[in-house]
Amino acid sequence: MRWLTSQTRPVHRPLFVSTLLRIVNLSLDVVLFGLAAAGAVSSVQGKGLGSYLPALVLVAMAKAAAYYLEQLTGHYVAFKALELLRTMVFSNLWPKAPAIVGATRSGDVLASLTRDVDRIEVVYAHTFAPVVSALVVPPVFVVGAGLAAGWQAVAIPAACVALALTVVPFVGLRASMRATRRTLELRRELAHHVTDSVFGAEEIIGYGRQLRRLEETDALGRSIGQSAGTARRANAFRRGANVFLALASSIGAAAVATSQGCSPVTVAALAAGCLRLFEGLRGVEDAAGYLDHSLAAARRLWEICHEPPRVADGQETLELAGPAEVSFNGVSYTYAGSPAPALSDFCLDVAAGGHAVLVGPSGSGKTTAASLLLRYDDPDAGEVLLGGTPLSRYTLDSLRRCIVGVSQKCELLDASILENVTLGMPDASEEEVWNALEIACLADEVRQMPDGLATGVGVAGRELSGGQAQRLCLARALLMRPKILVLDEFTANLNAELQSKVRVNLRKIPCTILEITHRLDAVAEADLVLLLDRGRTVASGPLDAIESEGSLRDFFTKNL
């Protein structure tokens, strides 16, 4: 919580003002009801409203002003807290992406970014001011009423207020906090399950598993309902206890004041004030209900924000005038929780401007090598070097401006072709954009689209064919003028003719290329071929050397 408080310092002053206004509002509320009850009794007694009416009008206007200002500052606090918390969580996440997204269950980060932040905003907007005012106003009211109507008359309300502040909020709190932790865990699973179902809808329907998935979702929903029941029962008890205490306080005060010989006007004012007082005490009751969720949300956000970055940022800015040499020097890497290494003592040297191709069966470690070159993570042993210097020396920003990756899985934004191509270079000129599209062999097709560069690609690029989406991703990478290009099955959706045209174009670009492929024809373009199997190099060298050993064709026949 101290960590959260430090993140939201700019809202502390308005929060203080909002709390003061809440105290004024609550005090005027009690006075208003007391006056109204006293005036009503005075009227019934035939004494008329007398001075009660102007007092009522004055107090009502003052209360309205206090309420308006409290809402204004309260909402300012709420929205400012939301802005600060969201910015804080996003800025903590960016440096950890994409590693954290890969390692976190789908839908989970999103839930944290939205629901958890909203939960904590509730602490600022609806918890702090109500709790503080509930702690201040009722004791002050009891003392004021004791001075006016006698101490015996306020004995019962005082006892009820003490119970409402010190006992009721804590009944079942520990059990409901445990249950809420479990509920939030189950909600995470539900978010994960629903996200998987939505993204995997085609497969689920295709394989006729929709009913089974729905049953699983239902089962999770039922478990959440059962687990949330404990917290709901504790909340219901607190609500019931406070209603009972309010009535006991009001009836008790009225009975004692009457027996003490207080006037009916005083008795009515006291009874109405006591009833109203417990409206203010609901702030404590509600806070107890929010507390478990808020603490659990704060804990989850803390974990996301404090998870150490997968890779430490380097100090030097990488500036390359042209292509550079890429080397993997005895690199070994094992994924967390994986029994076997994805790469073992992996070595590779690609000359500046060269084109190396990694070939190997599924799971042999090709993509892992590419992601280490993009520095999504660091090797457990060995080094990845650029022009002889370890990648870790360079800032991630400058590194990713020089080394650009195009993967088989194209991620496109639901925006225009222009916006997608210029994602990494928003200031690129139209001429540069067309040039990149030409190299990616997509320019002619875009020219023929009714809206040209302004054509929308649809959600996840659904308006484009798989091959167009892949070439769009390639054009996006080329626009960055990369010095190192990492291509992971980037032509998987292209026919042989298009593929060879793209390859011819790529040969004209001054950059070092590391390509991953399953295709024998791609190998023909490379200066260096490396055959990988279960994280180990089986053979490497120029194509001729491998061909002469006969290992390439053998390897393709056996493994691919």
x/- letters, 499..538, toward ligand ATP (CB under 6 A): ----------------------------------------
* Ramachandran region, residue 261 (left: φ > 0; alpha: ψ -120 to 50; beta: rest): left
Token representation of residue 535: 């994280």
Strands in 326-333's sheet, in edge-to-edge order, are 343-350, 326-333, 381-386, 389-390
269 with 52: CB under 8 angstroms?
no
Name the one range near ligand ATP by CB under 6 A: 88-96, 356-364, 373-381, 453-461: 356-364
Sign of CA dihedral 53, 59, 63, 69: positive
Residue whose CB is less far from ligand ATP, 288 or 530: 530
For residue 468, with 0-12 CB atoms within 10 Å meaning exposed, 13-18 middle and 19 or more buried, which class applies? buried
Tokens standing for residue 393: 């020396």
Question: Which uninterrupted H or E stretch holds 20?
Answer: helix 12-44
CB of 304 to ligand ATP, least distance (A): 18
Closest CA to 367 of 490, 480, 465: 490
Q: Cα–Cα–Cα angle for 510, 331, 351, nearest 5°?
A: 25
276 within 8 A of 138, measured Cβ to Cβ: no
**b vs e for 502-523, b when ≥16 Cβ sit within 10 Å of the residue's Cβ?**
bbeebeeeebbbbbbbebeebb
Nearer to ligand ATP, 366 or 375 (CB): 366
405 is a contact residue toward ligand ATP (CB under 6 A): no
Contact with ligand ATP (CB under 6 A): which of 22, 187, 276, 366? 366
Which amino acid is residue 95, in one-letter code? P
* 342 touching ligand ATP, by CB under 6 A: yes
Residue 515 Cβ vs ligand ATP, minimum distance, rounded to whole Å: 12
Q: Which is nearer to ligand ATP, 41 or 370 (CB)?
A: 370
Asked if 362 is part of the footprint of ligand ATP (rule: CB under 6 A), the reply reads yes
Is the Cβ–Cβ distance between 443 and 479 less than 8 Å? no
Residue closer to ligand ATP by CB (options 368, 540) is 368
| Contact window for ligand ATP (CB under 6 A) among 128-136, 228-236, 335-343, 474-482 | 335-343
Residue 6 vs 338, nearer CB to ligand ATP:
338
Q: Of these, 133, 242, 367, 422, which contacts ligand ATP (CB under 6 A)?
A: 367
The site that binds ligand ATP (CB under 6 A) totals a number of residues, namely: 12
Query: Which CB, 464 or 516, lies closer to ligand ATP?
Result: 516
CB 293, min distance to ligand ATP, A: 31
Residue among 273, 314, 323, 365 that touches ligand ATP (CB under 6 A)? 365
Q: Which stretch binds ligand ATP (CB under 6 A): 27-35, 359-367, 386-394, 425-433?
A: 359-367
Q: How many CA atoms lie within 13 A of 394 on its CB side?
A: 23
Cross-strand bridge partners of residue 331: 346
Task: Assign residue 471 a region (left: φ > 0; alpha: ψ between -120 and 50; beta: otherwise).
Answer: alpha
Torsion region of 323: left, alpha or beta (phi above 0 gives left; psi -120 to 50 gives alpha): beta
In this complex, which beta carbon is closest to ligand ATP, that of residue 252 or of residue 365?
Answer: 365
Q: Smaller CB distance to ligand ATP: residue 362 or 448?
A: 362
Taking the complex as a whole, the smallest distance from the CB of residue 349 to ligand ATP amounts, in Å, to 20
The single residue among 294, 368, 422, 470 that binds ligand ATP, judged by CB under 6 A, is 368
**Residue 360 in the binding site for ligand ATP (CB under 6 A):** yes
CB of 365 to ligand ATP, least distance (A): 4
Element (H, E) at 553: helix 551-559
Interface with ligand ATP includes 540 (CB under 6 A)? Answer: no
Q: How many other CB atoms are found less than 10 A from the CB of residue 550?
A: 9
Which of 55/103 has CB closer to ligand ATP?
103
Rounded Cα gap, residues 558 and 551, in angstroms? 10
CB of 100 vs ligand ATP, minimal distance in Å: 12
* CB-based contact 221:215 (threshold 8 Å): no
The CB-of-489 to ligand ATP minimum distance in angstroms stands at: 7
Of residues 352, 291, 344, 293, the one with CA closest to residue 320: 352
- First-to-last alpha carbon distance for the chain, in angstroms, is 54
Nearest-approach distance from CB 517 to ligand ATP, in angstroms? 9
E strand or H helix at 302, and its extent?
Answer: helix 264-306
Nearest approach, Cβ of residue 342 and ligand ATP (Å): 4
Binding map of ligand ATP across residues 185-224, x = CB under 6 A, - = no contact:
----------------------------------------
> Least separation, in Å, of the C-beta of 406 and ligand ATP?
14
Contact letters for ligand ATP, residues 94-123 (x by CB under 6 A): --------x---------------------
Instruction: Compute the least distance from the CB of residue 362 to ligand ATP, in Å.
Output: 3
**Cα gap 61→222, rounded to integer Å:** 49
Backbone φ and ψ for 354, nearest 5 degrees, come out as -80, 170
* Minimum distance of ligand ATP from residue 129's CB (angstroms): 46
Residue whose CB is less far from ligand ATP, 314 or 341 = 341
Name the packing angle between helices 173-199 and 210-259 (round to 10°): 150
Backbone angles phi, psi at 390, to 5 degrees: -60, 140
Kindly list the residues in this chain that would bind ligand ATP in the complex (CB under 6 A). Answer: 102, 335, 338, 342, 360, 362-368
